[in-house]
Structure 1
Amino acid sequence: MDTLAQLKAGQLAGIKRLDLSCGLTQFPREIFDLADSLEILNLSGNALRSLPDDLHRLPHLRVLFCSDNAFTELPACLGQCQQLSMVGFKANQIEQVPAAALPPQLRWLILTDNRLSHLPDELGERPLLQKLMLAGNRLEQLPASLAQCHNLELLRIAANRLTQLPQWLLTLPRLTWLAYAGNPVESAVELAIDDNTANIPWAELELAEVLGEGASGVIRKALRKPSNEAVAVKLYKGTITSDGSPLHEMQACIAAGLHPNLIKVQGRVIGHPDDQAALVMDLIDPSYRNLAGLPSLASCTRDIYDPASRFSVAVALRMARGIASVAAHLHRHGITHGDLYGHNILWNAGGDCLLGDFGAASFHATADTLETRALQRIEVRAFGVLLEELLERIDAGLSDDQRQVLEALRERCCQPQVLARPAFEEIEALLSSL
């Protein structure tokens, strides 16, 4: 983290990224001294309410983060920044988004956890828009103009007030990762949740070290008494994440049931001293590791793989079959995962894999309707992206016939006509035949 003193002393000349979080109430004018080089500006965690009208004097600015501040309106000056493509104003008090605030190169917009009740029609006039994060607002509808955003791949609209999903949304040719939990449109679905989920008293758990932490909660190792079985305990946070509500994630984990490619839920924790929601899950063998890393600012919607990542044909096919199988299982239970990505898959050297992180999961009707089919086929595109990433990293050994079949499958999964994509049952059967 850079310091204001360094900035004012002229010690940051030539830097491309500036991070300032020090209780700012006004935009430091010294930032303009970095105009020749500054590309990424992070002013999150301050008390800012406005930005200067001449922000465009930072001609190379591509990324701007102003989360956790006190903005009530998205600043109109953003629209004059010709290179600005990523805008993040999570957890402010924003009620208005003026059309003038939308930069022409907008690719990634984060307005999670604000007070928005509507968005301007001009949002659909940003053809590069690829990632749109709107969870935790007061939206009752989306601008119909978004139907023109044919590059939109990731959309987070969970925890709003939408009573229906617009028809155009289900036909977007590149939409791949969709989260809409916590809206009336989802709440109207009858959930087939297993009421037999065990209740595990907090007093029976002896917590140990932290295994991981994400936006929705903290995972800790624990001993479950009296058997002293080693388990994992996920303690959920109560705040809105970029995907939606952590409590919806917990509900989806329970509703998903049992499958070899899911982490088994042992039960729901009761009696936490602070009434914190928590689940007890099987402890994952340490031989498992993440398949990929999160997308970067540059890759936007694409995972980052270790350059050394290579898979044998058998391992790649085993992972692909496993993910197709668990996705089919979830769809039969009326659940779309919403975040089917390599970074949410754990795998081992034998090709065993587990799909985790249900933070973006949503419920849909189990009846075979056009809407249900479309929601499921949107997720099929995510599988097509994953299959492409696996194919790029297969060691020698894939026959020409196998590659031809897999490439054809990938093309079908990613084709722009949503309802023409195959269902996961068909994908699983085809992969099993290989």
Structure 2
Amino acid sequence: MQCLEMTTKRKIIGRLVPCRCFRGEEEIISVLDYSHCSLQQVPKEVFNFERTLEELYLDANQIEELPKQLFNCQALKKLSIPDNDLSNLPTTIASLVNLKELDISKNGVQEFPENIKCCKCLTIIEASVNPISKLPDGFTQLLNLTQLYLNDAFLEFLPANFGRLAKLRILELRENHLKTLPKSMHKLAQLERLDLGNNEFSELPEVLDQIQNLRELWMDNNALQVLPGETTNSVINQCKSMKLWPLHCYSRQLQYYLKSQLSNSSEPSPAQSFFLPSFFLFTGINPKNLSQKFLFVSISQGTQCVILLNL
């Protein structure tokens, strides 16, 4: 470890950690980065700066547990520990009352502790690629949360009062086992992006009709049995810039859907069609609304979707 000698008080940002042999005034360490260092535990040097440390990066190591001393760093605002070997998130995380961003993706964490609710400043949580099967009720008390990423987990349902997270703008729940959404989600008035791809929905959840500011919706690779109807059209009309309706159905059904939704008598005239590797793209214009264009995508593996764009 490199030894730094300091004679004035200043802020240190970077990977270098000064050892305790320096002379002069106290160091103010706010950011430490130990990413890709083949660590098996959190370095003890971290605890020397528990009063001033605001960001800690431990990405891509082999850390199996977080020591209690880490949670004495109460000034910590960002904790990044993706791609490690964590099996749990200790209850002592409740001490990090100033934490704003938490990244525990690509670990083996099975659940959030109930007292995660004490981290009331959290705005971003990235917990994708963990075997998390459910969220505790306390999770819905994180009222400042704006972005939540829980892709590739084991979620089968969301808490009934999930709608309390009213500040959510981005919600990604791709590759889970969800079949329904709680009715309280109509309260997510600021939600703009919702990714529900690769789940087990057999129909589009009715609650989507009530999310007023939704701009982007992904429903690809589900088990949709019914093509969008009146409820879905209402959702489409509410979206301001982009509506994405991926469907698992046969091309004939999609052609019929396009005919019935975009024209009463004839198929929409293609404005352009072209091939890409593994993709066939078909674009056209809604004859009822010339400002609305659609894009039909057929992927070789059988995944198909309709994208409607308001220009």
TM-score under structure 1 length normalisation: 0.46
Look up the equivalent residue of 2:293 and give its one-letter code: A
Q: Pick 1 or 2: higher relative contact order, CA cutoff 8 A, min separation 6.
A: 1
When you count strand as a share of all residues, which structure comes out higher?
Answer: 2
- For the pair 1:35 / 2:71, whether they are aligned, the reply is no
Q: Answer with 1 or 2: which has the greater Rg.
A: 2
Find out whether 1:97 has 2:135 as its counterpart. yes
1:296-375 pair list within 5 angstroms: 328-330=293-295, 333=296, 363-364=305-306
Query: 1:64 aligns to what SS in structure 2?
Result: strand
1:191 to 234, 241, 251: 251
Question: Is residue 52–residue 77 contact of structure 1 (8 Å, CA) maintained in 2?
Answer: no
The 1:50–1:77 alpha-carbon spacing in structure 2 relative to 1, beyond 3 Å, is farther
Contact 2:109 2:132 in 1 (8 A): yes
Partner of 1:55: 93
1:145 aligned to 2:181? no
Consecutive unaligned residues in structure 2, runs of 5 or more: 1-32, 225-245, 254-269, 281-288
Deviations 1:21-63 (A, max 9, x none): 3211111333234322x21111111121222212122222001
Shift in Å, 1:174? 0.6
1:74 matched to 2:112? The reply is yes
CA change 1:334–1:147 in 2 (3 A) is farther
- Aligned with residue 116 of structure 1, among 155, 160, 175: 155
- Aligned position for 1:84: 122
Secondary structure of the residue that 2:293 maps to in structure 1?
Answer: helix
| Letter aligned with residue 8 of structure 1 | K
Q: Please list every run of 5 or more consecutive structure 1 residues that lacks an aligned counterpart in the other structure.
A: 194-256, 269-278, 281-323, 336-360, 365-374, 381-426, 428-434
Residue 116 of structure 1 deviates from its aligned partner by 1.0
**Two-structure CA RMSD over aligned residues (Å):** 3.4
* SS state at 2:116 partner: helix
Q: Structure 1 residues 266, 26: CA separation in 2 closer, same or farther (over 3 Å shift)?
A: closer
- Aligned-residue sequence identity (percent) comes to 23
Counterpart residue identity of residue 165, structure 1: L
- C-alpha distance in 2, partners of 1:114/1:27? 21
Inter-CA distance 71–45: structure 2 relative to 1 (3 Å threshold): same
**Contact 1:138 1:160 survives alignment (8 Å):** yes
- Report how many aligned residue pairs link the two structures: 224
**Alpha-carbon deviation of 1:192?**
6.2
Change (3 A) 1:73 1:191: farther
Normalised to the residue count of structure 2, the TM-score between the two structures is 0.63
Q: Is 2:124 aligned against 1:64? A: no
**CA deviation after TM superposition for structure 1 residue 167, in Å:** 2.5
In 2, distance between residues paired with 1:177 and 1:266?
Answer: 24
Once the two structures are TM-superposed, the CA of residue 12 in structure 1 deviates from its matched residue by 5.6
